A and B are shown apart, each in its own frame.
Chain A
Amino acid sequence: MTIHQSPETFGYEAFLAAHQRKEVLRFIACGSVDDGKSTLIGRLLHDTKQIFDDQISALQRDSRKHGTQGEEVDLALLVDGLQAEREQGITIDVAYRFFSTEKRSFIVADTPGHEQYTRNMATGASTADLAVILVDARQGLTRQTRRHALLVSMLGIKRVALAVNKMDLVGWSQTKFEEILAGFNAFTRNLGFSEIRAIPLSAKNGDNVVLPGTAATWYDGGTLLAYLEEVPIREEALAAPFRMAVQWVNRPNSEFRGYSGRIASGRVRPGDSVTIAPNGRTSTVARIYTADGDLAEAGEDQSVTIVLADQVDASRGNVIAAADRPVQVSNTLEVRLFWASESPLAPGAALLAKIGTVTTNATVTAIRTRIDPETGQPGPAEQLTANDIADVTITLDRPVAFDPYAENRETGGLILIDRETTDTAALGLVQAPRPAEPKHAAPVVAEVVAAKPEARGLLAKLRGLLGG
């Protein structure tokens, strides 16, 4: 297999053309402590020739000092970049790694399996197209495996590579491998994954990671890298309607007024009818300006500046959306929350919410249910502590535009910010609005919004008690 052809062998132009066509796959690697996740990523980097000679000599030096592989080079040290990690042999924080082959470029989020795993994994998963879930073949499925699978499914990941690692330590047992796969399939039956690809491998020796292993004669399913190179990317997102949150109004002179933003989803052309949420005004796209000239069409992930045909009042925080498929607008959001702060969350808590380009005051008016991180089953909750997952109701001090997260990851994700420490306290996935509540509910919500901050907390508690 060829990892990288040198440009001389087939010409610079051809190389450039190939590079231009290359897609990027973003994936998250998750596993428990000691599953060998850092070793696996180190192996991917090493065997795809991303590691330079001076880094290899540094690695040999470090392996003698901090390595856990005896006399051998410890590939995990390639990714455990912080001193504390090397000393303790653990991964502290999300790291992003890059590697590429002739077919694709890859961005991998390497997330720790223990401390603050909810926050870090949710972060890594939020932009990932695929999850690599590691299992130690000796241990089989653990509570952590179930948690990781559940979490990545909640974050909207549809494809999973189940990397059954340390197969060399169970004698490449087919029975063991199939038992793990069957268990995983059973657990994830209702998690909405469209594909699960299980691969028996040894990150330490490199079998079936980049290069095929020879020990498992019963396995002919290809290497992990081969799967990463061929798995479809974001095909589900293609049908999503046009959305762009206004970041910045570009008005250099009286002749030009454009709305700058990054297209969250869908496509847009001059002449398209659009709605500006939350105020609901409509207009037509006149131009799609970029520094490289106007575009005839633009789509997801592009940063552009849209000029509208009418003098409508739009500003930062507004969402420009396809007129025939408008966004939802509300000041009350049902949210699946991943609580990350060390301080507990109680109903009535006042925070800031950032969704799209809006930052607004937010009150958690009710904690409805806590989600069991292993089974996904709802249960009662009075308050949340670090790493809890729960369904909550959040009331904002103004209406905002959103889509349910299941339909659109970019317009349905939010963060909550602690007003005192300014730290990011939670990640949230906006859910579809619940069916209309009993009649008394609506005025309460309106009052909560209008009331003074101190009254809001009380009302919220009341609402919580009433089971709102």
Chain B
Amino acid sequence: MSAASSARAALTQELSQAQRHARLTHLQRLEAESIHIFRETVAETEHPVMLYSIGKDSSVLLHLALKAFAPGRLPFPLLHVDTTWKFREMIAFRDQRAKELGLDLLVHTNPDGLAKGVGPISHGSEVHTDVMKTQALRQALDKHKFDAAFGGARRDEEASRAKERIVSLRTAQHRWDPKRQRAEPWHLYNMKKKRGESLRIFPLSNWTELDIWLYIEQENIPIVPLYFAKERPVVERDGQLLMVDDERLPLEPGEAPQMRRVRFRTLGCYPLTGAFESPATTLPEIIGETLAARTSERQGRVIDKDGAGAMERKKQEGYF
């Protein structure tokens, strides 16, 4: 063998070895990217907070945040905007996780909305979401003077979210201006802002629904039991299965809650989130269903259907 060809063989071997080592799985890459985003934000902003909505994306977000700062503690609090219409199991799960992990958890409810009795049933989904979520979020961010808020939104969820940056600037009025978005080349995030402006940070931007489930399974991340199928009381209304979580859901004439084996794909306010019939009681079964799904994740959400461009408009108004 000539010197040149043996050198080439050695190089090829070295390269293939490097290639073997260098190959991270897709989930490892996503995890590393999210951790990097958490650390950049904490280093570059004054007073960050993590929006915690108790759902599966929030569970993943929290897990990644804990990893980013280990062995240290989480260097920011969690904020839950409580519309008072969350499933009871969600609230129980939230409180249990906060206790187990020793989290600094803030809970905010819009006091004006509460006084006026705003709810999805009495006022409709648009008003409820605006008052109890969008306005409540703005109140909480202003009250605590948070200048950066982590959220679990993903680009694959909805068309206008696909255009959102990882670091998204909001005006002092918390508005999103899709035409004034900043370039995010390489992994360089511009976190500068003027007084009163704030940032929304989306570390899960490049994750898909399937990635979230695979990661929950891989990392054994606790999630709200509502994601797993179980016999639950539901009524069928406008093609959606609504769970009768408490006595506040008024039954229409002739309606009677039936026990059906259902689970949820996303979790929001209970009268606005549809369940579906499923036998899936384990994560592999859920992942199997996710792969076979013929409808999108947000199909069970009423908010997205408040007219074309509903999500884009709500985002501009300051909805997360």
Majority secondary structure, B binding face: helix
Most buried by A among B33, B284, B293: B284
Chain B residue numbers with a CB within 8 Å of A120 are: 183
State whether the Cβ of A378 lies closer than 8 Å to any Cβ in chain B. no
Given A93-B181, A250-B71, are A12 and B288 also a contact pair (CB < 8 Å)? yes
State whether the Cβ of B184 lies closer than 8 Å to any Cβ in chain A. yes
How many chain-A residues does the 8 Å CB contact rule pick out? 82
Contacting chain B: which of A16-24, A168-176, A191-199, A272-280?
A16-24
Chain B residue numbers with a CB within 8 Å of A421 are: 194
A305-325 near B? 1/0 per residue, CB < 8 Å: 000000000001000000000
State whether the Cβ of B258 lies closer than 8 Å to any Cβ in chain A. no
Of chain B, the residue at the smallest CB distance from A16 is B214
State whether the Cβ of A361 lies closer than 8 Å to any Cβ in chain B. no
Chain A residue numbers with a CB within 8 Å of B312 are: 81-83
State whether the Cβ of A8 lies closer than 8 Å to any Cβ in chain B. yes
Whether B22 and A82, one on each chain, are in contact in the complex, defined by CB atoms closer than 8 angstroms, is: no
State whether the Cβ of A32 lies closer than 8 Å to any Cβ in chain B. no
Chain A residue numbers with a CB within 8 Å of B84 are: none
Contacting chain A: which of B23-31, B96-104, B117-125, B224-232?
B23-31
CB distance from A89 to the nearest CB of B (A): 15
Given A256-B71, A415-B185, are A247 and B40 also a contact pair (CB < 8 Å)? yes
Interface residues of A in 145-179 (CB under 8 A from B): none
Chain A residue numbers with a CB within 8 Å of B142 are: none
Whether A267 and B21, one on each chain, are in contact in the complex, defined by CB atoms closer than 8 angstroms, is: yes
Whether A250 and B187, one on each chain, are in contact in the complex, defined by CB atoms closer than 8 angstroms, is: no
Whether A21 and B72, one on each chain, are in contact in the complex, defined by CB atoms closer than 8 angstroms, is: no
Residue in A55, A81, A410 whose beta carbon sits within 8 Å of that of B162 in the complex: A81
State whether the Cβ of A281 lies closer than 8 Å to any Cβ in chain B. no
How many chain-B residues does the 8 Å CB contact rule pick out? 71
Contacting chain A: which of B62-70, B87-95, B129-137, B145-153?
B62-70
State whether the Cβ of A203 lies closer than 8 Å to any Cβ in chain B. no
Whether B32 and A262, one on each chain, are in contact in the complex, defined by CB atoms closer than 8 angstroms, is: yes
Docked Cα-Cα span, A35 to B183, in Å, equals 24
A102-146 near B? 1/0 per residue, CB < 8 Å: 000101000000000001101100110000000000000000000
Chain B residue numbers with a CB within 8 Å of A105 are: 26
CB distance from A59 to the nearest CB of B (A): 10
Whether B296 and A83, one on each chain, are in contact in the complex, defined by CB atoms closer than 8 angstroms, is: no
Contacting chain B: which of A213-221, A296-304, A362-370, A384-392?
A296-304
Docked Cα-Cα span, A82 to B316, in Å, equals 11
Chain A residue numbers with a CB within 8 Å of B160 are: 81-82
User: 7 new A-B pairs (CB below 8 Å) besides A105-B26, A352-B192?
Assistant: A16-B214, A20-B27, A81-B161, A261-B39, A301-B24, A354-B190, A357-B40
What residues of chain B have their CB less than 8 Å away from a CB belonging to chain A?
15, 18-19, 21-29, 31-33, 35-36, 39-40, 42-44, 66-73, 155-156, 158-163, 178-188, 190, 192-194, 197, 205-206, 208, 214, 284, 287-288, 291-296, 299, 308-309, 312
* CB-CB nearest 4 A-B residue pairs: A81-B159, A252-B72, A126-B185, A303-B35
